[in-house]
Structure 1
Amino acid sequence: MRRLLLLALAVLTFFVAVPLVSANAAAGFTVSGTRILDANGNAFVMRGVNHAHTWYPTRTTQALADIKALGANTVRVVLAGGQRWTANSAADVTNVITQCRANRLICVLEVHDTTGYGEESAAATLDQAVTYWINVKSALAGQERYVILNIGNEPYGNTGATAWTTATTNAITRLRAAGFEHSIMVDAPNWGQDWQFVMRDNAAAVFAADPQRNTIFSIHMYGVFDTAAEITDYLGRFRTAGLPIVVGEFGHNHSDGNPDEDTILATAQSLGIGYLGWSWSGNGGGVEYLDLVTNFDANQLTSWGQRLFNGANGIKATSREASVFGGATPTTPPVTTPPATTPPPTTPPPTTPPPSSGVCTAVVSVNSWGGGFVATVRVTAGSAALTGWNVSAVLPSGTAVTNTWSAQATGSTGTVRFTNVSYNGTLAAGASTEFGFQGTGASPTTTPTCAAA
């Protein structure tokens, strides 16, 4: 009996002396379905901005402090790999990470030299970006709790963008073989906007090629994403596929069109998706309107800065600090249940119809040009809720649908039927959602018809 008591005491002493490690504990950030988890196993949703450190290194110390003071939990830092701009040294990268940590900001580091490869003659390849990361590995090792590695900014233009899948897969494989255990972020091609859907349609294969299954996808939303339907469809497809995505850059205006920033912010918040606005200050070349503050002065927020930091679904209202900095676990979950319908823009479009006493109505608005058009269709439930809908549109002779988002199309010419997708079929009485389609030929002129599915 004495021997049994001694054995029991030894076992008890072992369990008291050796702390239990959480099953969720990790070296750094990890991916769980659509969620990004920090090293403590808590969900983390990026709310922050981009800062052009490589061009304005003397501004970084104050910029990071100001960005944190305005409520951000993340900063995406522009670095250079040496192909287009002077490479940031390992010592400089260490300094950036140290300052991010001092300000309790998660640091997303990116190599900017890859921007527009295939169209920009001086752009670097993703393979060259990986070589840079390996060269500065000493600054990154052991920082997995605080750093996410964004391999290369907008790594393809519009030429040769289909090569993105292989190049990105090879880059991830090479980083893992070199011993990197960080969460890896990959930008879309088409100057980050993926209008050819190369990243969207190949994301699952790229994710599966990462032996650690720890890859995050990043879409940049500028003029391509100028309607609510395009935004909700793109982000919704990643949600449906169970893959993690963030809006790594976006603005309130751009030379290629007017992005719908209200819907970007609302949809990101409803789906628990991170976003990083472009950019703190120092823009030039005609896009100075993308500065969030004037001349790096946090007391001079621009209209874009006011919107991003202080507006609806903005940083101040939705940001939660990463738990790895030792604060209390957020009481408000950063990942929320998506609404039953696609969130509309803050200001409804003028084509919004009043609630109908019928089953549903559909109103179309068209943006056309010589030989083509983009149509946005707003579907509104009548006096009763819907669990599914379909819309029929009669197209003029010679007109064909070439692309559809937030709906499934049956047919492409004549009478085309559009049916809801998984995330926008359920509508409360009087509620609305949107879908869109692109076509060649004359734009539709007849009012589409709507029916319950």
Structure 2
Amino acid sequence: MKTRLSVAAATLLALVTSVVVLVQPAHAAVGLHVSDGRLVEANGTPFVLRGVNHAHTWYPSQTSSFANIKSLGANAVRVVLSNGHRWTRNDASDVANVISLCKANRLICVLEVHDTTGYGEEGAAATLASAADYWISLASVLRGQENYVIINIGNEPFGNSGYQNWASHTTSAVQRLRAAGFEHAIMVDAPNWGQDWTFTMRDNAQSVWNADPARNLIFSIHMYGVFDTAAEISDYLGRFRSAGLPIAVGEFGHDHSDGNPDEDSILSYTRQHGIGWLGWSWSGNSGGVEYLDMVNNFNVNSLTSWGQRLFNGTNGIRETAREATVYSGGTPPPTTAPPTTAPPTTAPPTTAPPTTQPPAGACTATYAVVGQWQGGFQGEVRVTAGGSALSGWRVSWTFASGQSVNQAWNATVTGNGASVSATNVSYNGNLGAGQSTTFGFIGSWSGSNPVPTLSCAAR
């Protein structure tokens, strides 16, 4: 990964003025883009990054990682690349293959140049200008991929020296990409090894945003030891929200040599406010931060405690990730990400009649495949109370083609061969007459993936 230095200056949080709020001008929608301070798809559907970082440039043979990351429910992957300044250059054919792997596995691809890490303090680091040169050299494989690719110009482009140049260097790199015809959403990392303890990115974000002719930037903060309290996390992210500026957590972990980040607060705050994130990292860490591996030795069946937390824990990927609609023909998903607290019920859908019609006073259930990839899929079930209120519900079905459920959220799901049963959890069992709730799951399939017939009963 990388080395980070002491960040005692994080206590300055309360002493620095907030980001200036200005009205953001509109721009033409081309692929993924920013609208009203949020990342949205070309069709206007909000897209919230829920994924991980993958060190492709150091482990180029681990191409199965893309499918494995998807199989655990992620909707995005941030891919470590090199422009050849510090590590072996990822050439155009390799980058094209990375994009094809992302698309084949229905992931949004965030591509970043890692050579810029710690420039000004790390002697071997590259400039943002050299990173811009690299992206421009890849124009032939990047153009036309605006629906699928976010360009993260350079990872952590300044250390703790020279960071005063962050705004001018970032602006120059962005404007060079726009002049070269790039219409992609562009992600820009903070200085100070990504953690912005000097608030350089925070206090200059508006001017950098204004300097982008496309108004299509995402600011990326990396949250490690600087962000070890809920107050620091909410203050930093909240100032971008108040300013209407798009912000994402491009990296974070559960621990680090520079301090112990508050990952629970990161996950809860970002879920509450629809902020994207990409955890560090899938596998292959070294140099004393091996504890940040999510799986052991790139083995998807060997999750570490950090991997279990990020994928399967409260506010983690399986609970909050929603696949980009570009992979389902541009049709928005039937529901949005569930909230951190007991979700409110909604009116029953007016389309898609239920697969079964239980007696009055019980419930109905509808089943939808909201995302599918080779060998895996994401399903969603909507439960709607009948003519009387429910204090609990049970949905059952039998898969006809060997499918299975691997993990689920917002319901307790059990399986016995092809037979599946799902019951409510504590916060979504009580439904008024005609009210609805949803639960989701990640499943496996082969051959075909037909929709089963569901039955719904009161508990």
Structure 1 length as normaliser, TM-score?
0.68
Q: Distance in 2 between matches of 1:42 and 1:302?
A: 33
Paired amino acid for 2:47: F
Paired amino acid for 2:309: R
Secondary structure of the residue aligned to 2:61 is: helix
Deviation at 1:27, TM superposition (A): 2.6
Equivalent residue runs for 1:247-258 within 5 Å: 247-258=249-260
Aligned to 1:333: 336
Paired amino acid for 2:88: T
Q: Which of these residues, 110, 130, 133, is aligned with residue 132 of structure 2?
A: 130
Secondary structure of the residue aligned to 2:52 is: strand
Give the 3 Å change call, closer, same or farther, for CA 95–46 of structure 1 in structure 2.
Answer: same
Structure 1 portions without partners, runs of 5+: 1-22, 340-453
Aligned to 1:401: none
Aligned to 1:42: 45
Cα RMSD for the two superposed structures: 1.8
Secondary structure of the residue aligned to 2:310 is: helix
Secondary structure of the residue aligned to 1:59 is: coil
Q: Deviations over 1:112-152 (max 9, x none)?
A: 00000001101000000000001111110110110000000
Cα pair 1:184 1:215 within 8 Å, conserved: yes
Aligned to 1:144: 146
Q: Is residue 270 of structure 1 aligned with residue 281 of structure 2? A: no
Q: Which of these residues, 160, 164, 172, is aligned with residue 174 of structure 2?
A: 172
Give the 3 Å change call, closer, same or farther, for CA 91–35 of structure 1 in structure 2.
Answer: same
Aligned to 2:106: 104
Q: Deviations over 1:83-130 (max 9, x none)?
A: 101110001000000010000000000000000000110100000000
Select the structure of larger CA radius of gyration: 1
Q: Deviations over 1:54-78 (max 9, x none)?
A: 0001002x10001000000000000
Aligned to 1:74: 76
Q: Distance in 1 between matches of 2:322 and 2:27?
A: 19
Q: Is residue 299 of structure 1 aligned with residue 271 of structure 2? A: no
Aligned to 1:290: 292
Aligned to 1:310: 312
Q: Distance in 1 between matches of 2:211 and 2:155?
A: 20
Q: Distance in 2 between matches of 1:138 and 1:236?
A: 38
Deviation at 1:255, TM superposition (A): 0.4
Q: Is residue 55 of structure 1 aligned with residue 58 of structure 2? A: yes
Q: Which of these residues, 92, 95, 99, is aligned with residue 93 of structure 1?
A: 95
Cα pair 2:319 2:338 within 8 Å, conserved: no
Aligned to 2:217: 215
Moved over 6 A (4+): 335-339
Aligned to 2:123: 121
Cα pair 1:165 1:206 within 8 Å, conserved: yes
Q: Deviations over 1:190-240 (max 9, x none)?
A: 000000000000101100100000000000000000011000100000000
Q: Is residue 203 of structure 1 aligned with residue 172 of structure 2? A: no
Equivalent residue runs for 1:366-385 within 5 Å: none
Q: Distance in 1 between matches of 2:310 and 2:66?
A: 16
Deviation at 1:338, TM superposition (A): 11
Q: Distance in 1 between matches of 2:67 and 2:28?
A: 29
Equivalent residue runs for 1:340-419 within 5 Å: none
Structure 2 portions without partners, runs of 5+: 1-25, 343-459
Percentage of matched positions with identical amino acids: 70
Deviation at 1:329, TM superposition (A): 1.6
Give the 3 Å change call, closer, same or farther, for CA 96–184 of structure 1 in structure 2.
Answer: same
State the aligned residue count.
316
Give the 3 Å change call, closer, same or farther, for CA 212–238 of structure 1 in structure 2.
Answer: same
Q: Which of these residues, 208, 225, 228, is aligned with residue 226 of structure 1?
A: 228
Paired amino acid for 1:29: L
Cα pair 2:315 2:340 within 8 Å, conserved: no
Q: Deviations over 1:302-338 (max 9, x none)?
A: 0000000000000000000000111642222249799
Give the 3 Å change call, closer, same or farther, for CA 322–24 of structure 1 in structure 2.
Answer: farther
Q: Is residue 30 of structure 1 aligned with residue 33 of structure 2? A: yes
Cα pair 2:95 2:141 within 8 Å, conserved: yes
Paired amino acid for 2:222: H
Secondary structure of the residue aligned to 2:62 is: helix
Secondary structure of the residue aligned to 2:178 is: helix
Q: Deviations over 1:404-440 (max 9, x none)?
A: xxxxxxxxxxxxxxxxxxxxxxxxxxxxxxxxxxxxx
Deviates more, 1:135-144 or 1:24-33: 24-33
Q: Distance in 1 between matches of 2:238 and 2:138?
A: 36
